[in-house]
Chain A
Amino acid sequence: MGMFPSLFRAALPSLLSIALALLVCFIAIAVSRSDLSIAANAYLQMLWGGLGDVPSFLGSGNWSLLTRAWGESAAKAALLTFTGLAVSVAFCVGLFNIGAQGQMTVGAIVAAVIGAKVALPAGLHPAVAIAGAAGAGALYALLPAVLKVRRGVHEVISTIMLNWVAVSLVENWLVVGPLRATASGDLSRSGTDEILPTAELPRLLGSLSRLNAGFPLAVLSAVGVWFWLNRTSNGFEARAVGLGMEAARTAGIDVRARVYQTMAFAGALAGIAGAVWVLGTEYKFPATLGAPYGFDGIAISLIGQNHPLGVGAAAIFFGVLRAGGTRMQLLGVHKSFPELIQGLALLFVAGRLIWDSVLRRSAKRAVPMAEVPRA
Chain B
Amino acid sequence: MDFEAGEIVALVGENGAGKSTLMNVLSGLYTPDSGEILIEGQPTRFRSPRDAIAREIGMVHQHFMLIPPLTVAENVVLGLEPRKRGLLDLTAARNAVQKTCQRFGFSLPVDARIEDLTVGSQQKVEIIKVLYRGARVLILDEPTAVLTPQECDDLFAVMRELAASGHTIILISHKLREVLAVAARIYVMRRGKLVAQVQGSASNERELAALMVGDARPSPSIGSAKRDRGELLLEIEDLHVPGAQEIPALRGLSLRIFAGEVVGIAGVDGNGQRELAEAITGLRPWTSGSIRFRGEKLRNPSPGELRHRRLAHVPEDRLSRAIIAPMTVEENIALGRDREPPFARKGLIDFAGRRERASRLLKEFDVRPPDAQARIGLLSGGNQQKVVLARELDLAPRLLVVVQPTRGLDISAVRAVHERLLLARERGAGVLLISLDLDEVLSLSDRIYAIFEGRITGELGRAEFDEKRVGRLMMGAERERPPRAPSANA
Q: Give the residue of B304, B322, B344 whose beta carbon is less than 8 angstroms from that of A252.
A: B304
Q: Give the residue of A230, A231, A253 whose beta carbon is less than 8 angstroms from that of B335.
A: A253
| A244 close to chain B: CB less than 8 A | yes
Q: Give the residue of B281, B304, B335 whose beta carbon is less than 8 angstroms from that of A240.
A: B335
Instruction: Find chain A residues with CB under 8 A from B313 CB.
Output: 250
How distant is B432 from chain A, measured CB to nearest CB, in Å?
A: 16
- Which residues 293-333 of B sit at the A interface, judged by CB distance below 8 A? 302-308, 313, 315, 320-327, 331
| B283 close to chain A: CB less than 8 A | yes
CB distance A231 to B348 under 8 Å?
Answer: yes
CB distance A243 to B327 under 8 Å?
Answer: yes
Instruction: Find chain B residues with CB under 8 A from A240 CB.
Output: 324, 327, 331, 335, 338
Interface residues on A, range: 20 to 34
CB distance A243 to B326 under 8 Å?
Answer: yes
Instruction: Find chain B residues with CB under 8 A from A252 CB.
Output: 302-308, 336
Q: Give the residue of A232, A247, A254 whose beta carbon is less than 8 angstroms from that of B302.
A: A254
CB distance B307 to A248 under 8 Å?
Answer: no
| A189 close to chain B: CB less than 8 A | no
CB distance B347 to A250 under 8 Å?
Answer: no
Q: Mark A241-262, 1 if CB is under 8 A from B, else 0.
A: 0011011111111100000000
| A234 close to chain B: CB less than 8 A | yes
User: Interface residue count for B (Cβ, 8 Å)?
Assistant: 30
Q: Give the residue of B321, B331, B336, B347 whose beta carbon is less than 8 angstroms from that of A232.
A: B347
- Which residues 349-378 of B sit at the A interface, judged by CB distance below 8 A? 349
Chain B: CB-nearest residue to A227: B348
CB distance A248 to B335 under 8 Å?
Answer: yes
Chain A: CB-nearest residue to B336: A251
Using A240-B324, A244-B323, A252-B307 as known contacts, list a sample of 12 further A-B pairs with CB atoms less than 8 Å apart, ordered by residue number in A: A230-B349, A232-B349, A233-B344, A233-B348, A236-B331, A240-B327, A246-B321, A247-B321, A247-B324, A250-B281, A250-B303, A253-B335
| B334 close to chain A: CB less than 8 A | yes
| A237 close to chain B: CB less than 8 A | yes
Instruction: Find chain A residues with CB under 8 A from B187 CB.
Output: none
| B343 close to chain A: CB less than 8 A | yes
| B479 close to chain A: CB less than 8 A | no
Q: Give the residue of A232, A236, A244, A253 whose beta carbon is less than 8 angstroms from that of B320.
A: A244
CB distance A250 to B315 under 8 Å?
Answer: yes
15 CB contacts below 8 A, A to B, read: A233-B349, A236-B334, A243-B327, A246-B321, A247-B320, A247-B321, A247-B323, A247-B324, A248-B324, A248-B335, A248-B336, A249-B283, A250-B313, A251-B335, A253-B338
Interface residues of A: mostly helix, strand, loop or mixed? helix
How distant is A84 from chain B, measured CB to nearest CB, in Å?
A: 22
Instruction: Find chain B residues with CB under 8 A from A239 CB.
Output: 327
CB distance A249 to B303 under 8 Å?
Answer: yes
Instruction: Find chain B residues with CB under 8 A from A243 CB.
Output: 324-327
| B339 close to chain A: CB less than 8 A | yes
CB distance A233 to B338 under 8 Å?
Answer: yes
**Cα–Cα, bound, A232→B338 (Å):** 9
Instruction: Find chain B residues with CB under 8 A from A246 CB.
Output: 320-321
Instruction: Find chain A residues with CB under 8 A from B324 CB.
Output: 240, 243-244, 247-248
Instruction: Find chain A residues with CB under 8 A from B304 CB.
Output: 252-254
Interface centre among A230, A236, A252, by most chain B C-beta atoms within 10 angstroms, is A252
Interface centre among B304, B308, B325, B343, by most chain A C-beta atoms within 10 angstroms, is B304
Chain A: CB-nearest residue to B304: A252
Report, nearest first, the 4 A-B pairs whose CB atoms are least far apart: A251-B336, A244-B324, A252-B304, A252-B307
Q: Give the residue of A230, A231, A251 whose beta carbon is less than 8 angstroms from that of B307.
A: A251
CB distance A251 to B303 under 8 Å?
Answer: yes
**Cα–Cα, bound, A251→B326 (Å):** 16
Instruction: Find chain A residues with CB under 8 A from B307 CB.
Output: 251-252
How distant is A146 from chain B, measured CB to nearest CB, in Å?
A: 18
- Which residues 126-181 of A sit at the B interface, judged by CB distance below 8 A? none
Chain A: CB-nearest residue to B351: A231
Chain A: CB-nearest residue to B314: A250
Instruction: Find chain B residues with CB under 8 A from A254 CB.
Output: 302, 304
Instruction: Find chain B residues with CB under 8 A from A234 CB.
Output: 347
How distant is B79 from chain A, measured CB to nearest CB, in Å?
A: 21
Instruction: Find chain B residues with CB under 8 A from A244 CB.
Output: 320, 323-327
How distant is B201 from chain A, measured CB to nearest CB, in Å?
A: 44
